[in-house]
């Protein structure tokens, strides 16, 4: 997936990004509101050596202090410092817990020690910092005082040696004005960044795992078959599956484009019997077959629509016709084709499914079915056959071999690559001629109708040249649509 494809995926899956962003920002705000405020007080000490006024002695004293100061910083959090502080201030904590809230730092090439204390109360943080500094000075000076040695020089009257260093507070700790944690703006910014990164990661993962075909370009490249039309998604299609009532909608024009593309893609050998199928249910094959047939009839092509989906027949309900008598009635010899063919508005002839049989696969692949299709081809210029999906049942494979061409309907962002591959391979194994694919229920930009009235009302094209022996479903194009009828 290149950058352009990734940006399109982000735009397509923006609700996922929005949810991740809301969750991350909500988490940041919750952490900010529920977190305990922490205040930080800081004090600073200066380490000096007790030396004479001689320049050499001062230089040696400075070097001595800088060499020792890093070690002094490690003493701040020892129990020698924390235990007395806890007792002195009466803190309700352990020396170890207090040590975890104390930080000491000695900047390089200096004789300064910065002591920082964190606490939930600002005044208490300052008191602890000052107490730690005072106790720390005492501990360091005691540690630096040499032990009594026989014959050593003692201060008269004291009986103790003198420490070579002394620590003085250069900056006393004061109660901080505001907490150092939590930081609302920083947490909010971190939440927004984390949400965007999480959303982008989830989208990338879903795109990697999602094998559905989302664009007509992806379908054409993957299936290596011509895509004859892209049928836009129409939320009103389930209630109004027939496009004849809304002749200038995007969907209606898409079926006319299918009719035209089908005509010009098969100029040398126009098929007369066309099977319309899909890999799995719910891809729009029935609506494709119905509206393709209507589009052909609209163009003046004598067309018969046959409902050969003998498991879930949907053609008769789409037109409001009688379903009990139809194809199965003819196949078992109880009626002739002319007796059960029904006419609908626009001059389209419909052969309904008839009663649902117990053995649809055998009936559709029988020699009698071949005879019925040939008889229909003699009566009509084009015969459109709606069939069952390819993968769940074996009905269509046997029937498609009796036809002269097959249209494979693929639903946008629903049909998976492996399903399209399996459907195409099943047709190829029996030598079926696949005319192309129809990309149904594709997302489109807003805007409902073409501006024909700006140029004058255009009549529906009449393809009289299609009549006769060479007539192909040239006007046969109509690609499929909304949902399984």
Dig out the tokens for 311 from the structure.
Answer: 């498991």
Across 336-483, the runs of DSSP E, i.e. the strands, are: 342-344, 348-351, 382-386, 405-411, 434-442
What 3-state DSSP class applies to 336? coil
Alpha-carbon distance of 160 to 115, in angstroms, equals 29
**Omega before residue 117 within 30° of 0, cis:** no
The dihedral sign for the CA sequence 315, 321, 322, 328: negative
Dig out the tokens for 7 from the structure.
Answer: 């940006």
68 has pLDDT over 60: yes
Closest alpha carbon to 233 in 260, 254, 212: 254
466 has pLDDT over 80: no
119, β-bridge pairs: 39
**b or e along 2-17 (b: 16 or more beta carbons within 10 Å of the residue's beta carbon)?**
eeeeeeebbeebeebb
User: What is the per-residue pLDDT across 270-284, written as a single tens digit (0 to 9) for each?
Assistant: 899 999 999 999 999
Alpha-carbon distance of 116 to 378, in angstroms, equals 98
Half-sphere exposure of 325 (CA within 13 A, CB side): 10
Strands of the sheet containing 434-442, edge to edge, are: 227-232, 434-442, 405-411, 273-278, 382-386, 303-307, 348-351, 342-344
Whether residue 403 contacts residue 274, with contact meaning beta carbons closer than 8 Å, is answered with yes
Alpha-carbon distance of 388 to 371, in angstroms, equals 20
Average pLDDT over residues 350-363: 95
User: What is the per-residue pLDDT across 136-156, written as a single tens digit (0 to 9) for each?
Assistant: 999 998 988 877 645 444 443
446 has pLDDT over 60: no
Whether residue 434 contacts residue 425, with contact meaning beta carbons closer than 8 Å, is answered with no
- DSSP string of 135-157, one letter each residue: HHHHHHHHHHSPPP-TT----TT
**pLDDT band of 243, cuts 50, 70, 90:** confident
168, β-bridge pairs: 46
| pLDDT for the residue 44 | 94
Whether residue 165 contacts residue 68, with contact meaning beta carbons closer than 8 Å, is answered with yes
Average pLDDT over residues 14-39: 91
Burial label for 142, CB within 10 Å (0-12, 13-18, 19+), is: exposed
User: What is the per-residue pLDDT across 303-335, written as a single tens digit (0 to 9) for each?
Assistant: 999 999 999 999 999 999 998 999 999 999 999
- When mean pLDDT is compared across 29-38, 441-450, 462-471, the lowest value belongs to 462-471
The pair phi, psi for residue 118, each rounded to 5°, is -110, 140
209 has pLDDT over 60: yes
- When mean pLDDT is compared across 5-14, 182-191, 457-466, the lowest value belongs to 457-466
**pLDDT band of 448, cuts 50, 70, 90:** very low
Domains annotated for the chain, with CATH where assigned, are 3-35+182-209 (no CATH), 39-147+161-171 (3.30.70.1130), 216-476 (3.40.50.300)
- When mean pLDDT is compared across 147-151, 162-166, 359-363, 385-389, the lowest value belongs to 147-151
Average pLDDT over residues 176-183: 88
58 has pLDDT over 60: no
CA distances to 273, 322, 341 from 316, rounded to whole Å, are: 20, 6, 11
Half-sphere exposure of 89 (CA within 13 A, CB side): 23
Average pLDDT over residues 124-146: 91
**Mean of the per-residue pLDDT values of the chain:** 84
User: What is the per-residue pLDDT across 282-293, written as a single tens digit (0 to 9) for each?
Assistant: 999 999 999 999
- pTM for the model: 0.64
| pLDDT for the residue 310 | 96
Whether residue 161 contacts residue 145, with contact meaning beta carbons closer than 8 Å, is answered with yes
Average pLDDT over residues 374-383: 96
- DSSP string of 79-135, one letter each residue: HHHHHHHHHHHT-SS-HHHHHHTEEEE--TTS-EEEEEEEESSHHHHHHHHHHHHHH
119 has pLDDT over 90: yes
Whether residue 241 contacts residue 482, with contact meaning beta carbons closer than 8 Å, is answered with yes
**Cα Rg, the chain, nearest whole Å:** 43
Whether residue 97 contacts residue 114, with contact meaning beta carbons closer than 8 Å, is answered with no
Q: What is the DSSP letter of 476?
A: G
Average pLDDT over residues 387-407: 95
240 has pLDDT over 90: no
Q: List alpha helices for 271-429, DSSP H.
A: 285-298, 315-319, 327-331, 337-340, 360-364, 367-379, 395-400, 417-429
Query: Which of 8-22, 32-46, 102-116, 407-421 is most confident?
Result: 407-421
19 has pLDDT over 70: yes
**pLDDT band of 184, cuts 50, 70, 90:** confident
| pLDDT for the residue 144 | 83
Largest Cα–Cα distance in the chain? 137
| pLDDT for the residue 156 | 39
Whether residue 424 contacts residue 417, with contact meaning beta carbons closer than 8 Å, is answered with no
| pLDDT for the residue 1 | 61
Alpha-carbon distance of 204 to 18, in angstroms, equals 15
- When mean pLDDT is compared across 51-55, 228-232, 307-311, 405-409, the lowest value belongs to 51-55
């Amino acid at each position: 997936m290149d950058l352009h494809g990734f940006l399109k995926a982000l735009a397509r899956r923006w609700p996922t990004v929005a949810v991740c962003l809301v969750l991350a920002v909500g988490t940041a705000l919750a952490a900010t509101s529920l977190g305990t405020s922490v205040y930080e007080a800081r004090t600073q000490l200066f380490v000096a050596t007790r030396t004479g006024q001689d320049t050499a002695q001062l230089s040696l004293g400075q070097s001595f202090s800088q060499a020792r100061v890093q070690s002094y910083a490690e003493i701040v959090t020892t129990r020698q410092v924390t235990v007395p502080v806890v007792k002195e201030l009466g803190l309700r904590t352990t020396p170890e817990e207090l040590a975890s809230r104390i930080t000491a730092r000695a900047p390089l090439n200096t004789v300064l020690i910065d002591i920082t204390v964190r606490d939930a109360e600002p005044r208490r943080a300052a008191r602890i910092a000052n107490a730690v500094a005072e106790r720390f000075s005492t501990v360091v000076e005691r540690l630096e005082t040499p032990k009594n040695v026989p014959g050593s020089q003692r201060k008269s009257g004291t009986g103790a040696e003198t420490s070579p260093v002394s620590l003085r507070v250069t900056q006393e700790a004061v109660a901080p004005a505001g907490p150092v944690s939590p930081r609302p703006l920083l947490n909010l910014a971190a939440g927004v960044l984390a949400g965007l990164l999480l959303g982008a990661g989830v989208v990338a993962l879903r795109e990697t795992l999602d094998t559905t075909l989302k664009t007509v370009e992806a379908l054409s490249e993957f299936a290596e078959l011509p895509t004859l039309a892209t049928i836009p998604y129409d939320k009103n299609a389930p209630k109004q599956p027939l496009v004849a009532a809304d002749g200038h909608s995007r969907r209606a024009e898409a079926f006319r484009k299918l009719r035209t593309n089908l005509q010009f893609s098969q100029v040398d050998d126009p098929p007369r019997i066309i099977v319309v199928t899909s890999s799995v249910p719910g891809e729009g094959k029935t609506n494709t077959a119905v509206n393709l047939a209507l589009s052909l009839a609209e163009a003046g092509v004598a067309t018969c629509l046959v409902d050969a989906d003998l498991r879930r027949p949907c053609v008769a309900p789409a037109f409001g016709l009688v379903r009990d008598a139809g194809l199965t009635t003819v196949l078992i010899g109880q009626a002739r084709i002319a007796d059960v063919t029904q006419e609908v508005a626009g001059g389209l002839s419909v052969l309904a499914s008839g009663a649902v049989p117990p053995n649809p696969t055998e009936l559709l692949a029988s020699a009698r079915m071949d005879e019925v299709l040939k008889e229909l081809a003699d009566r009509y210029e084009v015969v459109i056959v709606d069939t069952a999906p390819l993968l769940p049942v074996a009905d269509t494979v046997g029937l498609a071999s009796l036809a002269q061409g097959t249209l494979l309907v693929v639903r946008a962002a629903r049909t998976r690559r492996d399903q399209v591959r399996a459907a195409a391979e099943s047709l190829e194994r029996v030598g079926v001629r696949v005319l192309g694919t129809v990309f149904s229920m594709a997302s489109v930009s807003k805007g409902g109708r073409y501006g024909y009235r700006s140029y004058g009302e255009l009549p529906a094209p009449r393809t009289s040249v299609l009549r006769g022996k060479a007539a192909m479903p040239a006007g046969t194009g109509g690609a499929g649509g909304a949902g399984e009828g």
